Amino acid sequence: MLSVPEFLRPVIGQNTPVAVLGAGVSGRALAALLGKLGAASVLYDEQNAPGAPGASAGFAPERHALVLFSPGFRPDHPWLAAARAAGALTLGELDFASLFWRGSIIAVTGTNGKTTLASFLAHALRSLKKDAAAAGNIGVPLAALAAARSGAAPESVAVCEVSSFQAETLRHFRADASLWTNFAEDHLERHRSLENYFNAKWRLFERTAGGPLFAGSGVRAAAALFGQSLPDDACVPTENQPGDLLLKDTPFEQYPQRENFLLAAAWWRRAGLPEMALYAAARSFRLPPHRLARVAVVNGTAFWNDSKATNFHAAEAALRSFPAPVHLILGGLSKGGDLPAFVRRAAPRVRHAWLIGATAPALADACRAAAVPHTVAGTLDVAVRFSAAAAGKGGTVLLAPAFASFDQFKGCEERGERFIALVKSLENPIVPPKINPSNTHPLHHETS
């Protein structure tokens, strides 16, 4: 049975329902958890929550003593400001849900790799017959896990992926251990600066209650840059490490996944678990969808899907996986960051860039400045068909967009599924126009 902490009792189960802001996966999980607690709730959604019956777009803060919110709500969102002004207690989904999870929590964050690392640790623990589940930003909110596993024993483990959006407002969440894979620019459209983004993630380390911390090489460098100190035993060398024969033919044989294994191994050893069991788990582990994986070879052209590469760091890691320059499908919704610098770094590994989505015009300017051959394709459908013909036999087409997907898709998963479907439907690719001397050829509009 779930018990309500003393400080929440005045605002749960009283005469006023609990407000839940956001009617997506997190919001619905919160409503289900509140139902388990016997508390009434009201869902509010700015877009009237299509697919979320009963959700309202008109938030009424005066009706609620407790307001819970999904990660998509910025801390300074007008609804949250209104709730605080009305005297309501406001808590994020992860913060609230953690109060009702009886087992331990291993928290995982990072600019990239956190989903894979959280999935792998849960998989490895289950291979030892331990009661472990991945939750959090991975797609299964901790609120859903707490509601579904209300009878979970203290030995149960939630391996919780924590995004910067979730970490920045943590007040009650406690992790028994935290792992931070890497750090690079991302989500600057929300955090406004690299330092703010770092501090949002650093909040997770502050909420690790006396447990061990594990930080990759890039995190250590960022901590020094922003004036934070890490314990010596928290620093795990993860960059430019030698190969490991025991990882041959596993997803962790090469970078960028090698970094995830090194973090997992550091925690595994500290927990006193058998080392060879982790290697055995690596051999049976399969990467979550839409991480760098070959889709098919069509007419001699290899197509690779890394739709989950939603920032510069991830796209550059994908490019480094190939020995020769590739045809890169690039673009989407901007998340901030130095776009021209990213294109300059990527340039030596790109044979031709096929630009899609909202950032295509800005990318075209950056490609022109960096002398990167490019085409403004506009849509993924056009990019796949034209790149297939241009790459030819022995060529490689890589979808590593480096941007969010929400300009044209519901998420990176839908973008990846569309890419897979397009590749598998290729039979007679269109022959693109001849590339002109300015390194650009127009499809929908002139870019030179």
pLDDT digits (tens, 9 = 90+) for 246-305: 999 999 999 889 999 999 999 999 999 999 999 999 999 998 889 999 999 999 999 999
* Strand 213-215, strand 132-136: pairing: unpaired
pLDDT tier at 188, thresholds 50, 70, 90 = confident
| Distance between CA atoms of residues 418 and 307, nearest Å | 10
Count other C-beta atoms under 10 Å from residue 334's C-beta. Answer: 18
Helix (H), strand (E) at residue 33: helix 25-36
For 218-244, what is the mean pLDDT? Answer: 95
Looking at the predicted structure, is the pLDDT value of residue 448 above 50?
no
pLDDT digits (tens, 9 = 90+) for 359-384: 999 999 999 999 999 999 999 999 99
- Per-residue model confidence (pLDDT) at position 151: 66
Structure tokens at 281: 């788990």
Residue 136 β-bridge partners: 161
3-state secondary structure of 164: helix
Q: Distance between the two ends of the chain, CA-based, in angstroms?
A: 65
The residue type found at 376 is: V
The residue type found at 432 is: P
Instruction: Say if residues 120 and 177 touch (Cβ distance below 8 Å).
Output: no
pTM to 2 decimals? 0.85
Instruction: Say if residues 169 and 92 touch (Cβ distance below 8 Å).
Output: yes
pLDDT tier at 13, thresholds 50, 70, 90 = low
Whose CA is closest to 73, among 96, 43, 50, 46?
Answer: 46
- Per-residue model confidence (pLDDT) at position 48: 59
For 335-351, what is the mean pLDDT? Answer: 96
Domains of the chain: 13-95 (3.40.50.720), 100-284 (3.40.1190.10), 293-424 (3.90.190.20)
- Per-residue model confidence (pLDDT) at position 122: 98
pLDDT tier at 442, thresholds 50, 70, 90 = very low
| Distance between CA atoms of residues 388 and 360, nearest Å | 19
pLDDT digits (tens, 9 = 90+) for 127-156: 999 999 999 998 899 999 999 987 677 889
- Per-residue model confidence (pLDDT) at position 427: 67
| Distance between CA atoms of residues 303 and 423, nearest Å | 7
- Angle, in degrees to the nearest 10, between helices 257-270 and 114-127: 50
- Per-residue model confidence (pLDDT) at position 279: 98
Instruction: Say if residues 19 and 41 touch (Cβ distance below 8 Å).
Output: yes
| Distance between CA atoms of residues 236 and 262, nearest Å | 8
- Per-residue model confidence (pLDDT) at position 2: 81
pLDDT digits (tens, 9 = 90+) for 61-105: 999 999 999 999 999 999 999 999 999 999 999 999 999 999 999
Count other C-beta atoms under 10 Å from residue 99's C-beta. Answer: 18
Structure tokens at 126: 């289950």
Instruction: Say if residues 11 and 36 touch (Cβ distance below 8 Å).
Output: no
- Per-residue model confidence (pLDDT) at position 445: 30
Mean pLDDT taken over the chain = 91
CA 341 to chain centre: 22
* CA diameter of the chain: 72
What dihedral angle (degrees, nearest 10) is formed by the CA atoms of 140, 146, 147, 150?
140
Instruction: Say if residues 27 and 20 touch (Cβ distance below 8 Å).
Output: yes
pLDDT digits (tens, 9 = 90+) for 21-60: 999 999 999 999 999 999 999 999 887 544 444 556 678 8
3-state secondary structure of 256: coil
**Three-state helix/strand/coil letters over 152-193:** CCCCCEEEEECCHHHHCCCCCCCECEEEECCCCCCCHHHHCC
Looking at the predicted structure, is the pLDDT value of residue 15 above 80?
no
pLDDT digits (tens, 9 = 90+) for 370-428: 999 999 999 999 999 999 999 999 999 999 999 999 999 999 999 999 999 999 999 65
Q: How many residues does the chain have?
A: 448
- Per-residue model confidence (pLDDT) at position 200: 95
pLDDT tier at 437, thresholds 50, 70, 90 = very low
CB-side neighbour CA atoms (13 Å) of 146: 30
Instruction: Say if residues 317 and 255 touch (Cβ distance below 8 Å).
Output: yes
Looking at the predicted structure, is the pLDDT value of residue 358 above 80?
yes
- Angle, in degrees to the nearest 10, between helices 412-424 and 380-391: 50
